[in-house]
């Protein structure tokens, strides 16, 4: 079984920095480089969609200084790596509510999406200002709207619900990796992870490498995914 959609929770930047006597933002800075390495590695391994949890709806609760720093990272990332992503035919996408992102950051994001929109290789999808419970509630509202307006009957089936989610253009997640040891989903892609394999690894995100990813993907391919049925 190949990994079509890989999702990653990039945790442990602050912890990594603290252990080295550095400030949290230095962990985030190092983390940006690792995003590039992970994207190139995933692309080389034949992944179709890589979704990275960059900024959750809960992350607004961090200090204004830290949030301000984080919001500069997309520009830093594209200044350093957009050329290379273009060469690799990678397309940038976003999942989340963009209207609350600061205007200058939002501009950087939309222009990267625009510049890469005709690329046909891997999709590098950043979950930004994203929370899965809210995504599901918004989907329910959208569906209710269609029923109320008479556009469709009240006959929704499980396999149709993903059409209303923010990730409707992507296949379900095959493999979800969370770094830095915590065994939680933290409101990330709850619907989309229904049948995914979950891997929690001890390394903090700044220490994640292409080699780690390759290992985990190979492990995944060896395992048996049965979808609750019996393998034929
Ligand atoms: C900090 C570890 C890349 C996680 C990685 C705004 C936390 C480094 C991006 C990025 C962050 C986002 C969108 C985009 C291009 C790049 C990023 C944030 C944090 C939060 F279009 N790294 N990165 N965004 N960190």
At 157-199, the pLDDT tens digits run 999 999 999 999 999 999 999 999 999 999 999 999 999 999 9
Any domain includes 156:
no
Average pLDDT over residues 76-101: 98
Does the CB atom of residue 30 touch ligand 1 within 6 A? no
Does the CB atom of residue 41 touch ligand 1 within 6 A? no
pLDDT at res. 226: 67
User: Which atom in ligand 1 lies closest to the alpha carbon of residue 77?
Assistant: 16
Any domain includes 159:
no
Rounded (to 5) percent helix, strand, coil in the chain: 50, 15, 35
Q: Has residue 15 got a pLDDT over 70? A: yes
Q: Has residue 225 got a pLDDT over 80? A: no
Cα–Cα distance measured from residue 206 to residue 221, given in angstroms and rounded to the nearest whole number: 25
Cα–Cα distance measured from residue 106 to residue 90, given in angstroms and rounded to the nearest whole number: 20
Any domain includes 166:
no
Any domain includes 140:
no
Active site (catalytic) residues: 11, 59
**pLDDT grade for 70, boundaries at 50, 70 and 90:** very high
pLDDT at res. 67: 98
pLDDT at res. 223: 85
Question: If you average pLDDT over every residue of the chain, what do you get?
Answer: 96
Name the DSSP letter for residue 207. G
- Is 119 in contact with 89 (CB distance < 8 Å)? yes
User: Which atom in ligand 1 lies closest to the alpha carbon of residue 53?
Assistant: 4
What is the CATH classification number for the domain harbouring 34?
Answer: 3.40.1180.10
Residues in the chain: 232
Does the CB atom of residue 14 touch ligand 1 within 6 A? no
Number of domains in the chain: 1
Q: Has residue 76 got a pLDDT over 60? A: yes
Does the CB atom of residue 113 touch ligand 1 within 6 A? no
pLDDT at res. 231: 57
Q: Has residue 137 got a pLDDT over 90? A: yes
Q: Has residue 59 got a pLDDT over 90? A: yes
Average pLDDT over residues 59-63: 97
pLDDT at res. 74: 98
pLDDT at res. 229: 72
Q: Has residue 82 got a pLDDT over 60? A: yes
Domain residue limits at 79: 5-131+174-221
| Cα 72 to ligand 1 centre (Å) | 9
Q: Which residues contact 53 (CB under 8 A, 6 or more apart)?
A: 7, 8, 9, 10, 127, 130, 186, 188
Any domain includes 138:
no
| Cα 191 to ligand 1 centre (Å) | 23
| Cα 162 to ligand 1 centre (Å) | 25
Identify the H or E element spanning 130: strand 123-130
Any domain includes 154:
no
Any domain includes 147:
no
Any domain includes 69:
yes
Does the CB atom of residue 127 touch ligand 1 within 6 A? no
């Amino acid at each position: 079984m190949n990994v079509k959609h890989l999702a990653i929770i990039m945790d442990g930047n602050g912890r990594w920095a603290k252990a080295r006597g550095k400030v949290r933002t230095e962990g985030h800075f190092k983390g940006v480089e690792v995003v590039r390495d992970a994207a190139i590695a995933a692309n080389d391994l034949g992944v179709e969609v890589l979704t990275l949890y960059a900024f959750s709806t809960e992350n607004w609760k961090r200090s204004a200084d830290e949030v301000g720093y984080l919001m500069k990272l997309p520009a830093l990332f594209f200044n350093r790596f957009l050329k290379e992503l273009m060469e690799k035919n990678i397309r940038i996408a976003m999942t989340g509510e963009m209207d609350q992102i600061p205007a200058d950051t939002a501009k950087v994001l939309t222009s990267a999406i625009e510049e890469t929109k005709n690329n046909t290789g891997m999709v590098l999808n950043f979950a930004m200002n994203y929370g899965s419970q809210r995504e599901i509630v918004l989907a329910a509202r959208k569906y209710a709207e269609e029923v109320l307006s008479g556009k469709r009957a009240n006959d929704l089936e499980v396999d149709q619900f993903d059409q209303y989610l923010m990730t409707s253009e992507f296949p379900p997640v095959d493999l979800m990796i969370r770094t830095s040891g915590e065994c939680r989903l933290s409101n990330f892609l709850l619907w989309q992870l229904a049948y995914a394999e979950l891997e929690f690894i001890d390394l903090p995100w700044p220490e994640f490498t292409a080699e780690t990813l390759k290992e985990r993907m190979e492990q995944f391919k060896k395992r048996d995914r049965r979808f609750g049925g019996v393998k034929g």
